[in-house]
Homo-oligomer: A and B are copies of this chain.
Amino acid sequence: MSLRHAMLGLLYASPMSGYELVRYFQRLLETIWFAQSSQIYPELRKMEEAGLIAATVAPRGQHATKRIYSLTEEGLATFERWANEVAPYPPERDPVRLKALYAHVASFAAARDQFQAHIVHYQSRLQVWHERVKQIRARTAPITALTLERRPPEEHAAIVAFKAHAVDGLIARAKAEIAWARRGLRLVDELEATRLAGADGAAPDTTPARPRTHADRRDGRGNRPSASRLVDRRRPRAVQ
């Protein structure tokens, strides 16, 4: 449950209201840990019940109020414990790679669009992360600045260096992704060129860029296979 730890991390920097947490998630953290208000407010209440944070009610204008949350001793201890543990690695689930695995089912144009979108996506991320790392090193990033305020000077170098390094990791990943997508674009070009070159005597097609699909195997009703082919299929055994 890392949403909780991301929230503890913000409250470690400074006490704040739920709304401020929401804004930090929207503006700062969204490229590291995304969360919406509909998740944050209920989680705040759960954390309060669990004794990790405590709220004080502060006035807002003449009639309204807001709740300011801060870490309790237990919340701080929980956060420190989490920071000292090795993070478990979540199981792999990579939608882009899954699709790339089946790029041959798409048209060359669609494959190109996918790689192009990949580049656009990570280039925009790259901009945000570059900006962020600059702010961290300049110590103007809001959360970094708040943290430095309440930590002794001899820790400042480490705080800045670790935070910058975290974002550097995202930058490195983004660059690797962009390079991969560029190689993908070149691959599509090559494959399309060979396909067109090799298609001399082949039957002409109105959409020559699109590989043929299962539609060519049109044997009887849909694609129900004959029973004999099915009964003793133990292919997974051969795996590895």
Shortest distance from the beta carbon of A48 to any chain B beta carbon, whole Å:
13
CB atoms of A100 and B166 under 8 A apart: yes
CB atoms of B121 and A213 under 8 A apart: no
Q: Name the interface residues of A7-46: CB closer than 8 Å to any CB of B.
A: 9, 12, 14-17, 20, 23-24, 27-28, 30-34
Whether, in the assembled complex, A214 has its beta carbon less than 8 Å from a beta carbon of chain B, the answer is yes
Q: State in angstroms the CA–CA spacing of A228 and B95 once bound together.
A: 48
Chain A interface: which size bin? 35 or more
Shortest distance from the beta carbon of A144 to any chain B beta carbon, whole Å:
10
Number of copies: 2
**Which residues from chain B contact A175 at a C-beta distance below 8 Å?**
176
Whether, in the assembled complex, A204 has its beta carbon less than 8 Å from a beta carbon of chain B, the answer is no
Name which of A2, A224, A227 has the most chain B CB atoms within 10 A of its CB: A224
Shortest distance from the beta carbon of A120 to any chain B beta carbon, whole Å:
10
Name the 7 nearest CB pairs between A and B, nearest first.
Answer: A34-B91, A100-B166, A23-B236, A83-B105, A103-B162, A176-B176, A84-B110
